Structure 1
Amino acid sequence: MLNNKQLNIVVGLFAFILFCSFIHPFHIHPYRNFYHDVGAGLALFVGIGAFCNVSRIELSVPSSVLLPIGLAVIVGLQVINGFLILPMDGFFPIVEFLCFGMAMIFGATIAANSDGLRKLCLGFSWLFVLTGLVSLVFQHLQLSTADLMPFVMPIKRVISIRPYGNFGQPNILALIDCFALASVWWLYTNGELRKWPAIGITVGILWGIALTQSRVAWVILPLFVLISCFQPQVGNVSVHRKVLLGLLLLFALMVLATPSFFSLCGSVVESVNERAAHTSVRLTLWQQAWKMSQMHPWFGIGWLQFSANQVMLASLFPPTEVADYAHNIVLNFVAELGWPATIIILVSSAYWFYVSCIKHWNDIQICYIGLILIAIVVHSMVEFPLWNAFILIPFGVMVGAVHGKQLGIATLSLARAWMGIVAFGAVVAIVVACWDYQRVTDGFQSAYRQQVLHQADDGGTNKPEWTLFPQFFDYFRINKIAIYSGMPASDIEFLEKMSLNFGFPPVLERLALAYALNQRPAEAVQVLISSQRLNINYYPNTYALWGSYAKQNPALFGQIFVSLPLPEKSKQP
């Protein structure tokens, strides 16, 4: 057992490093959330390393770890059986699932200590509140033209903008802000925050959510109010229903006022009606996921294979956009894992939530974490926030912390040397991954210099002997392959594989050109139609390019060009 001081150190280190991972502005192509995820992993393993304060630690291992272990096993089997086009794509998901399990153990171990669950909730509460307030400042700075790197992530000055703080995605910031509102409620009802500061912070965070124009928050906040109005009193102080309804009404007014505020800042944004009406892209993604689940109902298409299958099926659906996932966690699971695994996951998760949270809803700590879990579930119906490790790891800690004892918790006694080895090994692995990722980002910069600035090849895009990111060095090879009549079949097969993993216009255009020059015009048309369906905004450029090809060589490209859909007939998603 940890004493009070040791517990404070563990929770404090975890919350502080996680806060740093939330607010830093570094989003570097191709994995723009890489350093957010790395920061969350670092927070977890530094927190685990802090267990070394005691000579021997009693780890609590909840039965819920069977979920991440099961997911890791499924993805591993999919890799072994060739479900993944690029096998290395399965490496990081398996690592994240294992970290998810470690986070559950971390949370359960803290909660097993005297006053541990309350201290963990206190750490999470101030983490989310401070993140929301700092992000609110960042949002307003982003509306200016000031370049404040390396403190605030710059935002492109386009006609329509939705400031997102340093998260790079408005809906993620809105989700964190919803966590912050639940945190203000917990702090106030626990006597950790006085009335007027609580109201002031709440109003500020509501304004931050309004600035994101996040539709998912329009669902989460009324749900929070509905739950709060009908639940029994928990904590030392209650919040009157009229106050909650008044704050919700204030938020609605803020949402209505947001377009006018943006116009004062020199930007034009969509009205509430226009934002609410934009559903066509997600509906098409859901239809695609449903089709994939029908084609592969038992074992799915393979983890992270949604975008590849999207390219294959694009011509069957209305125009949409390239996506890494289905924007609905249930449909994503049935598409990539199959129906049996998905049903087991959903049923067991629902039962877990009932036993661990709903049955203990009168406990303020469990009520607080339950609200956050509900927000994540609601968000997961239209996106996949758990795709990000910086959401998945805190989620895992919370799941472990509130795990019902009647569901089973094992105890594992370890000497602090083992905890130190695990923590040190994980930190070293994180450093190595960052170093390797830097080689990838250097490679993209080198590719830019070669393709845009027409500089000589400096070797930055050459594939190293060892890397955790081989797919990106394969991607660099695409532009090194010469496209000509009679080119080797192996080169065309390579382009086909890369076009599935990277369904972007330049990649698809090169594959179509290879088909056209090698007497496969029908396949060239099919690829270009897929490009039109997945990259509707870019398609006029593709159409113009192939129009120039047709003028230069009507015999070879003329029939292909006349078979292409006209840009003006395509509706923007």
Structure 2
Amino acid sequence: MLSWVLPNHYYPWSSAYQEFASFLAVAILVLGAISNCYMKVPASFLFFVFVAFVPLVQFAFGRIYFFSSALLSFLYLIGFFFALVVGCVFFRSSRNGGYLLDVMVWAFMLGAVISIWIALKQWLLLSGSIWIVDMPPGGRPFANLAQPNNLATLLGIGVLAVLYAYEKSWFGRYSAGILVLFLLFGVALTQSRTPWLAFMCVAFFWFVKRRSYKFRVGSKVVFFWLVYYCACVVALPFISSFLMLDSTSLAARAQSFERLALWWQFILAIWHGPFWGYGWGQVGLAQVEMSSLYPVQMLTAHSHNVVLDLMLWNGPVLGLIIVVFLFFWFLRMALNARSLESTFALSVACLLLTHGMLELPLEYAYFLLPLGVLLGGVAAEHHNSYEIIFSKKMISVILVLSMSLLVVIWREYRLLEEDYRLMRFESARIGFLKADQPAPDVLLLTEVREFLRFARTDPAENMSKEQLQWMREVAHRPAYAPSLLRYALSLGLNGEPELASKQLQLLRELHGPVAYENSLSYLRALEPEHPQLGALLK
């Protein structure tokens, strides 16, 4: 729950503190799982270990530019595997299984209630506290998750948790109903489009499961909640206007179709791209390569669709294998679910996966790891023909190594965060403090390290081919307008006008004509001092 309410969001990794808190929680659960009599899990879990090593192999063969991209992808996948193991081991324990799920349900409800309280303060412009993230002018409330769609998903999970608590008779009819109405108003407050599709998928799943489990919540009540949510969505702009608050109607936002163009661009990237993919975490490279074929003025590091992401990262063959495995693995669990616990866990999974088809919630550990625990618990209920038993010593050694690695990453990230903050002051010419070196000496988080070094490297004449290649790799991960301009200027100063022109063209395709014209104006100002730049301006 701590990872949902922490207010710390800083560049260059805005969710770093929340992610570390999530991994720490899983590590504590693994320690608890080791105390069980045995650690017997389905053999299908090993598939995620296999996938976890794919990014490392891609880096070894040069497909992934920076080691940190491969390492973090590996850690997230291994973390998901450990979450599956924890869920399976705990849920098979008659002593701890129900207790863990109860704790998670209460955490979901408490996290949702605290988040909606924070969102209300943001909406009413009453934040002004170090414990609450400030909402930008004209923005949508996002609590301390700093992302409105993620808040909507958390509140949706909170609604499911309340329904589970009602089914378990923890709450009465009226207390549960009032809490659901409160949470649904919070969902409407986010003005997110995702809940419409997500709630339809969850409602369909619950309707199907009514045959195997008789729920206390009736269809009429669910229909009333839907009508209430629609009323909140319609009324919100009028309430905001009456209170003299900024608001954007959901209808206006629903008319935005940039996402469809983005998806088509990435479908073309899968078709025309490398057979083994662009590498985990390198969706931005696909956009760079496809911008000339199908330009979309929307820079992104993600496709906003988990299926497309998997296909882009791994290529059409391996990506399709992973997608098909996940589909049938999840379908098997959904068809065999009989208990209230499994139905709740799979409903949360439906919510997250539906959101994952439109956004990127599964790239946040505070959603990915709880999902792993819940799915591990569902898998524990089913009979599996092939199972494996993990040695406690082996798990203990892996846990110690993983935690040691996380400690090193934490230490490195704190150094990089401070240096990144200093670099931004330097770029804005605020103060007189300068860094002693281009970037901190770190070993693991290489991508941020190289970006800092890139930001402090002035384009100059007589740069080597190795330096220009290094600048290309950094400038395209991701392709920010200032990075592309710096790289284009370096190429122009070193006798590569054609390549420099291509970078400027890429800048126009990704960031639009205004950014392109501003870049040309900057280059024209440098032309008297560097006549060779004239070739770029013709």
> Which residue in 1 is equivalent to 2:270?
293
Deviation at 1:475, TM superposition (A): 1.2
1:320 counterpart (283, 297, 301): 297
2:482 counterpart (506, 510, 518): 506
| 1:189–1:236 CA contact under 8 A, matched in 2 | no
| RMSD of equivalent CA atoms | 2.5
| 2:206–2:343 CA contact under 8 A, matched in 1 | no
In 2, distance between residues paired with 1:117 and 1:81? 43
Deviation at 1:58, TM superposition (A): 1.3
| 1:57–1:413 CA contact under 8 A, matched in 2 | no
| 2:30–2:86 CA contact under 8 A, matched in 1 | yes
| 1:319–1:532 CA contact under 8 A, matched in 2 | no
How does the TM-score come out when normalised to structure 1? 0.87
Deviation at 1:229, TM superposition (A): 3.8
Consecutive unaligned residues in structure 1, runs of 5 or more: 1-18, 563-573
In 1, distance between residues paired with 2:277 and 2:391? 39
1:471 counterpart (442, 447, 450): 447
> Which residue in 2 is equivalent to 1:136?
116
> Which residue in 2 is equivalent to 1:33?
15
- 2:517 counterpart of 1:543: yes
Deviation at 1:40, TM superposition (A): 0.8
> Which residue in 2 is equivalent to 1:329?
306
> Which residue in 2 is equivalent to 1:181?
159
| 1:222–1:248 CA contact under 8 A, matched in 2 | no
1:516-541 CA distance string (max 9 Å, x none): 333433332321222222224xx525
Deviation at 1:254, TM superposition (A): 0.8
In 2, distance between residues paired with 1:356 and 1:541? 49
Q: Which stretch of the first structure deviates more once superposed, 245-254 or 510-519?
A: 510-519
> Which residue in 2 is equivalent to 1:121?
101
2:228 counterpart (250, 269, 293): 250
Q: Residues 364 and 97 from structure 1, CA distance in 2 versus in 1: closer, same or farther, beyond 3 angstroms?
A: same
Deviation at 1:311, TM superposition (A): 2.1
Residue aligned with 1:511, SS? helix
In 1, distance between residues paired with 2:439 and 2:139? 37
Residue aligned with 2:39, SS? strand
Paired positions, count:
534
| 1:133–1:205 CA contact under 8 A, matched in 2 | yes
1:532-553 CA distance string (max 9 Å, x none): 22224xx525513422543664
Q: Residues 190 and 464 from structure 1, CA distance in 2 versus in 1: closer, same or farther, beyond 3 angstroms?
A: same
In 1, distance between residues paired with 2:523 and 2:320? 50
Consecutive unaligned residues in structure 2, runs of 5 or more: none
Q: Residues 393 and 312 from structure 1, CA distance in 2 versus in 1: closer, same or farther, beyond 3 angstroms?
A: same
Q: Which stretch of the first structure deviates more once superposed, 224-233 or 172-181?
A: 224-233
Residue aligned with 2:509, SS? helix
In 2, distance between residues paired with 1:420 and 1:490? 43
- 2:147 counterpart of 1:165: no
Same amino acid, percent of matched pairs: 21
| 1:475–1:498 CA contact under 8 A, matched in 2 | yes
Deviation at 1:504, TM superposition (A): 0.8
2:64 counterpart (71, 84, 94): 84
Q: Residues 107 and 461 from structure 1, CA distance in 2 versus in 1: closer, same or farther, beyond 3 angstroms?
A: farther
> Which residue in 2 is equivalent to 1:430?
406
> Which residue in 2 is equivalent to 1:153?
133
Q: Residues 482 and 275 from structure 1, CA distance in 2 versus in 1: closer, same or farther, beyond 3 angstroms?
A: closer
> Which residue in 1 is equivalent to 2:491?
515
Residue aligned with 2:389, SS? strand
| 1:300–1:335 CA contact under 8 A, matched in 2 | yes
Q: Residues 420 and 329 from structure 1, CA distance in 2 versus in 1: closer, same or farther, beyond 3 angstroms?
A: closer
Q: Which stretch of the first structure deviates more once superposed, 144-153 or 388-397?
A: 144-153
| 1:481–1:491 CA contact under 8 A, matched in 2 | no
| 2:152–2:192 CA contact under 8 A, matched in 1 | yes
> Which residue in 2 is equivalent to 1:4?
none
In 2, distance between residues paired with 1:407 and 1:492? 55
1:256-275 paired onto structure 2 within 5 Å: 256-275=234-253
1:67 counterpart (38, 44, 47): 47
Q: Which stretch of the first structure deviates more once superposed, 441-450 or 266-275?
A: 266-275
Q: Residues 541 and 292 from structure 1, CA distance in 2 versus in 1: closer, same or farther, beyond 3 angstroms?
A: closer
Residue aligned with 1:338, SS? helix
- 2:213 counterpart of 1:240: no
Q: Which stretch of the first structure deviates more once superposed, 20-29 or 233-242?
A: 233-242
In 2, distance between residues paired with 1:213 and 1:125? 25
1:274-303 CA distance string (max 9 Å, x none): 2112122x2232223222212346311211
Letter in 2 for 1:273: A
In 1, distance between residues paired with 2:460 and 2:415? 31
Q: Residues 82 and 559 from structure 1, CA distance in 2 versus in 1: closer, same or farther, beyond 3 angstroms?
A: closer
